[in-house]
Amino acid sequence: MSKFWSPFVKDLVPYVPGEQPKLTKLVKLNTNENPYGPSPQAIAAMQAELNEDLRLYPDPNGDRLKQAVAAFYGVPTSQVFVGNGSDEVLAHAFHGLFQHGKSLLFPDISYSFYPVYCGLYGIQAEPIALDEQFQIRVEDYARPNGGIIFPNPNAPTGCLLALEAVERLLQANPDSVVLVDEAYIDFGGESAISLVSKYPNLLVTQTLSKSRSLAGLRVGLAVGHEDLIEALERIKNSFNSYPLDRIAIAGAAAAFEDRAYFEQTCAAVIGSRETVVAGLQALGFEVLPSAANFIFARHPGRDAAGIAATLREQGVIVRHFKQKRIAQFLRISIGSPEQNQALLDALATL
């Protein structure tokens, strides 16, 4: 703490990202990174941008990327927003679309950046408890609010809310923005983007960090009604007019254009997830149903923190959360077949 800090900074509780260890030869299954590399077309597109044009500013609107996203989802470019990672896109939504002075509703077990942004932007947070199976109950969100946000599939549980349930939630809340955070939707869910033209209060955010293997590029997006997108653009242009560089725009656009590679790697991750689930269940673990590139599991006879510590000693890193309700769960990213087998082998020794 410094005497130069404002009272605002002093009271902030920052987000704590997953560990990025510097050691090599680790089986890193703690931050939900894709085990497969980016699309070769995306790499080629980024390499092509390494020329003298880097002396020039990038397109502030990211039009090439917006066009690729719009073509992929069959929406007009006016309904697409792009930013520097989905966390930045979420930040703009918190700042510009949720009603200050009213409570923002989100699951009690959810992405831990949500309460951080509530603190940053002075929004009253109202966590809504998941049910005993760690599922979202749509009826719990039929109450006065200044906005609703939830990941789908949820994080860190991996549980999916069906599209018809998302629509029921929208119908029950026509006067506030409902933001569906679809960071993991491509691993087993149906995107709510199909509902955007029907519900002007719906905003869907996505990232290229997971299903398109570009976590190192920092690219996120939102799709929604033109009025919501205009609000995000107004905030972006009051904060940073050039959130995406020339390399990021080119690589992200090419990743969306290479549909075949995207579908191939998503299918590989889904197949590996089922293998890991079966392996964990054979070892006595309880595993929540997952539609993400990770699983959420606990062992009835072993302490989760102890399992995580022992795995680490064997060179396998998974994520353990200390939040009381989920303190006995581990979140385990789906890795390559070799990484997944290393995890199961290490657990078998316990």
CATH code of the domain in which 55 resides: 3.40.640.10
d(CA 5, CA 299): 44
Total domains present in the chain: 2
Give the mean pLDDT of 18-37. 83
Upper half-sphere CA count for residue 151 (Cβ side, 13 Å): 26
Read off the pLDDT of residues 208-234 as tens digits, 9 standing for 90 and up: 999 999 999 999 999 999 999 999 999
Residue 93 placed within a domain: yes
Give the model's pLDDT for residue 337. 98
Domain identity same for 206 and 291: no
Give the mean model confidence (pLDDT) for residues 260-267.
98
Looking at the structure, tell me whether residues 201 and 308 fall in a common domain.
no
User: Using CA atoms, how far apart are residues 333 and 294, in angstroms rounded to an integer?
Assistant: 4
Burial (CB count within 10 angstroms: exposed 0-12, middle 13-18, buried 19+), residue 163: middle
- Nearest 10 degrees: Cα torsion 57, 62, 64, 68: 150
Separation CA 105–CA 118 (nearest Å): 11
C-beta separation of 263 from 39 below 8 A: no
Q: Of 331, 286, 325, whose CA–CA distance to 158 is shortest?
A: 331
19 shares its domain with 45: no
Is the pLDDT confidence value at 23 over 60?
Answer: no
Domain-located, residue 2: no
- Helices 40-48, 246-257: axis angle to 10 degrees equals 150
Of the candidates 283, 331, 282, the one whose C-alpha atom is nearest the C-alpha of residue 304 is 331
Percentage above 70 pLDDT, the chain: 97
| Residue 56 located in a structural domain | yes
Q: 298 and 176 share a domain?
A: no
Angstrom distance (rounded) from CA 187 to CA 294: 9
CA distance 163 to 169: 10
Q: Indicate the residue among 208, 234, 258 that finishes a domain.
A: 258
Query: 196 with 338, same domain?
Result: no
Mean pLDDT across 3-25 = 69
Does 297 share its domain with 249? no
Domain limit, last residue, from 258, 277, 295: 258
What number is the average pLDDT over the span 15-24? 64
Residue 169 lies in a domain: yes
Does some domain include residue 272? yes
**CATH code, domain carrying 308:** 3.90.1150.10
| Model pLDDT, residue 14 | 72
Residue 16 has pLDDT above 80, yes or no: no
Average pLDDT value for residue range 265-275: 98
Residue 154 lies in a domain: yes
**Does residue 130 sit in the same domain as residue 235?**
yes
Tell me the average pLDDT of the chain: 95
Tens digit of each residue's pLDDT (9 = 90 or more) over 97-155 = 998 789 999 999 999 999 999 999 999 999 999 999 999 999 999 999 999 999 999 99
Q: Report the SS3 class of residue 220.
A: strand
Main-chain dihedrals φ then ψ at residue 156, nearest 5 degrees: -95, 10
**How buried is residue 290: exposed, middle or buried, by Cβ count under 10 Å (0-12/13-18/19+)?**
buried
275-289: average pLDDT: 98
151 forms beta bridges with 181
Per-residue pLDDT reduced to its tens digit, 32-66: 999 999 999 999 999 999 999 999 999 999 999 99
| Domain span at 207 | 40-258
| 226 contacts 78 by C-beta, under 8 angstroms | yes
Q: 44 with 93, same domain?
A: yes
Q: Say if 1 falls within a structural domain.
A: no
pLDDT for position 3: 74
Q: Distance (Å, rounded) from C-alpha 166 to C-alpha 266?
A: 23
Asked, for residue 3, whether it belongs to a domain, the answer is no
Domain boundary among 229, 258, 287: 258
The model's pTM: 0.94
Backbone angles phi, psi at 178, to 5 degrees: -110, 115
The strand order across the sheet containing 294-298 reads 286-287, 294-298, 330-333, 319-320
Please give the pLDDT value at position 7.
74
Task: Look at residue 79 in the predicted model and tell me its pLDDT.
Answer: 98
Please give the structure tokens belonging to residue 305: 């923190």
One domain for residues 238 and 299: no
pLDDT for 11 equals 73
Q: Are 172 and 250 part of one and the same domain?
A: yes
What sign results for the dihedral spanned by CA atoms 57, 33, 228, 121? negative
Residues 97 and 206 in one domain: yes
- Are 181 and 220 part of one and the same domain? yes
